[in-house]
Each structure stands twice: as structure tokens, then as C-alpha cells.
Amino acid sequence: MGSQLTSVSVFAPATVANVGSAFDVLGLALEAPGDTATIRRTPEPGIRIADISGDGGRLPRDTEKNTAGVSVAALLTHLKKSDFHSYAPVGMDISLEKGLPIGSGLGSSSASTVAAVVAANELLGSPLSRQELLPFAMEGERIACGAAHADNVAPCLLGGFVLIRSYKPLDIITLPSPRDIWLAIISPALELCTSDARRVLKRSVTLESAVSQWGNVAALVAGIYKNDITLMGRALEDTIIEPERAALIPGYQAAKDAALATGAAGCSISGSGPSLFALCHSEQRAHDANKAMEQAFSAAGISSKQYVSRVNQTGARVMERE
């Protein structure tokens, strides 16, 4: 064990879940922004949240309440049970650098969790594949918002567009990542909890609107394969979820209209909001869309942060090993 690693840093990116019509089944990874987790091996056993920066003191330092802590603990428990040969009583200090705004709909909890799980796995010599890490990262989502969703953690781990066909059994399908798409992302200074955003949703929908939605979801997947940004844009049309959630985001419709007026192919809510994403044909168009959305929110008295990114092809990545 002479070559044992003592420290690993991993960057995990922001993710856009739901992706318009594809509520709860599709997510995509951005290149930036993101969170970084550094895990150091310690002589004393146990998992500790050693440090968190960039969260304004808002995330729990208690390992059992922190999404990254919970997920790393679940991973270690699994490895212990499965008698992983290089597993030994190991201590880990987790440090998190938050680059993502919390509660913004950009997969902030997923990014921290995935960064930590990938770092812990790497520190132990990578006993599990990225796909195999997914259930442990999902444990973090369970405590973050009450349900073990995969639509942020899966693209965060794997990169690209990722489809979750089913949870029982878990069936994850990676889709191609069109290179020509640029995303404009705007995060207005509003905060929504996913569970609140979920509470506004009606429990039932008309068959007619459901059919219209799955026609759009099917077209969105076809657009991804065809690398047809215009088709993807019109297939974002969501008559079920977006109208309910838009009502929670002051200035939403004006911002969306403004983005579309700049030539964006489509625009919708990222995750459960309040961030918005717009699909754009070029980097310049994405900046234009952001500027238009920023002005719309500003007119409603709401400040915002903006990001421009392509689709991340690889997911979380190891930044440093020692």
C-alpha cells in the first residue's frame, strides 16, 4: 500500500434537471460552475466535514446531516459489507468549496455529493465505476430534498445528457452530448426548496396534456440525437410543470420571453427553479440571452448571476491526487 493516496480533489459540475418537458427523467451537466470536494485520509477513523467554504455558513457540518457526508458514509458501509479487499478502517476529512449557489435549481447539493463520493472512491483506489457510485450519490439527494432522485446526480457523475427511465429497477441511459449547444443560465436571487416546488404540482393531469408532454419528451431525445438545437428548443414545451412552477418565480415569463426574443431555441426552468436555462446556437447568443434575462429580472427588482456553458461531456473530474 506504499502508493496509497492521501488526498484527492474532485470538481463536480452544476446540472440542469427536468429539462423542460422531461420532468424527473432527464438531466444534463454543465462545464461550469461547480463545487470542489477535497478528501484527506486521516489516521483516526470516521468521516468528518472538516471545512466548507462559499456556503455562507448555511450547510450542515454534521456528517449525518450533510449530503456529502451521508453519501461517503453510505459508500464506505457498502465497501465494508462487500469485503472490498483494500478497504481498511479509514478516516476521511471532507472539505467542500461551494462554487454553486444553494437552492438555485442548479444541482448544488448533487455537485457537492458527487464530488465527495468520486473523491472518496478515488482515494480508495477506485473500487467502483462511475455508474456504480450512483446509488450512493442518490443517498445524499434523499436527505437534501426528501427523495432519492437521480436527475442531477447521474449527469453530474457521468456528464452529458442522462435519461432515467425507471427507478425500480434503476435504469440509467446516457445520451449523446450535442457539441454545438450553448446554455445560458441565469440564477435570480430567489430561493426555492425543491420540496416546496414539488408541493405546488397537481397530483393528476389530463391524458391529453400527458400525451402532448410525452410527444415533446420523445422529440427532445430525437433532437439530442439529431444535434438539432431548434427541435430541442421547441420540444422543451411543457404544459404540465412549468406553468405551476413559473408562478413561484417572479419575473419568469418576462425573462423567458426576453431570452427567446434574442433567438434562443428554447428556455425553461432549471431543476425546480428559480434558475432558468436557455438553449442557444452559439456562445454569443448565450451571452445575449443572459443579458436579456438579467434585464428582465432587474426590471422586476431581482438581481441575478449568469453563466454560459456547453454541455459537459465527462461529468465530475479529478483535479488533484496526492
Q: Identify the CA nearest to 102 among candidates 14, 26, 11.
A: 14
Q: Quick check: 200 binds its own copies (CB under 8 A)?
A: no
Select the residue interacting with its own copies from 14, 16, 23, 229 (CB under 8 A): 23
Q: Per the residue annotation, which of 141, 242, 262, 294 is the catalytic one?
A: 141
Tell me, yes or no, if 141 is annotated catalytic.
Answer: yes
Nearest in space to 31 (alpha carbons), one of 206, 227, 286: 286
Among 68, 154, 219, 293, binds its own copies (CB under 8 A): 219
Among 14, 25, 76, 94, binds its own copies (CB under 8 A): 25
Identified binder of its own copies from the candidate list 231, 248, 254, 319, rule CB under 8 A: 231
Residue 202 interacts with its own copies (CB under 8 A): yes or no: yes
DSSP-derived secondary structure for 234-283? HHT--SSSHHHHHTTSTTHHHHHHHHHHTT-SEEEESTTSS-EEEEESSH
Site map 147..186 versus its own copies, x via CB under 8 A: ----------------xxxx----x-x-x-----------
Q: Is 39 in the site for its own copies (CB under 8 A)?
A: no
Helix or strand run (H / E) with residue 237: none
230 binds its own copies (CB under 8 A): no
The upper half-sphere exposure of residue 214, i.e. CA atoms within 13 Å in the direction of its Cβ, equals 7
Residue 46: all three cell numbers together: 470516521
- The answer to whether 20 contacts its own copies (rule: CB under 8 A) is no
**Among the candidate windows 136-144, 229-237, 253-261, 311-319, which touches its own copies by CB under 8 A?**
229-237
- Does 212 engage in binding with its own copies (CB under 8 A)? yes
* Smallest distance, its own copies to C-beta of residue 312, A: 19
22: burial class by Cβ within 10 Å (0-12, 13-18, 19+)? Answer: buried
Picking from 300, 298, 302, 304, the residue whose alpha carbon sits closest to that of residue 185 is 304
**Is 26 a binder of its own copies (CB under 8 A)?**
yes
Distance (Å, rounded) from C-alpha 107 to C-alpha 30?
Answer: 10
- Among 5, 32, 50, 240, interactor with its own copies by CB under 8 A: 240
Nearer to its own copies, 205 or 319 (CB): 205
Q: Is 246 in the site for its own copies (CB under 8 A)?
A: no
217 interacts with its own copies by CB under 8 A: yes
CA separation for the pair 54, 57 (Å, rounded)? 8
* Closest-CA residue to 278 (of 248, 236, 249): 236
Residue keyed to cell 465494508? 80
Residues that bind its own copies (rule: CB under 8 A) add up to a total of: 40
Burial pattern 176-197, b for ≥16 Cβ within 10 A else e, equals ebbeebbbbbbbbebebebeeb
214, 282, 284, 320: which one binds its own copies (CB under 8 A): 214
Residue 41: what residue type?
A: R
| CA 213 – CA 228 distance, rounded (Å) | 19
Residue 234, interface with its own copies (CB under 8 A)? yes
- The residues annotated with a catalytic role in the active site are 141, 194
Judged by the rule CB under 8 A, the positions of this chain that interact with its own copies are 21-26, 163-166, 171, 173, 175, 201-208, 210-222, 225, 231, 234-235, 237, 240
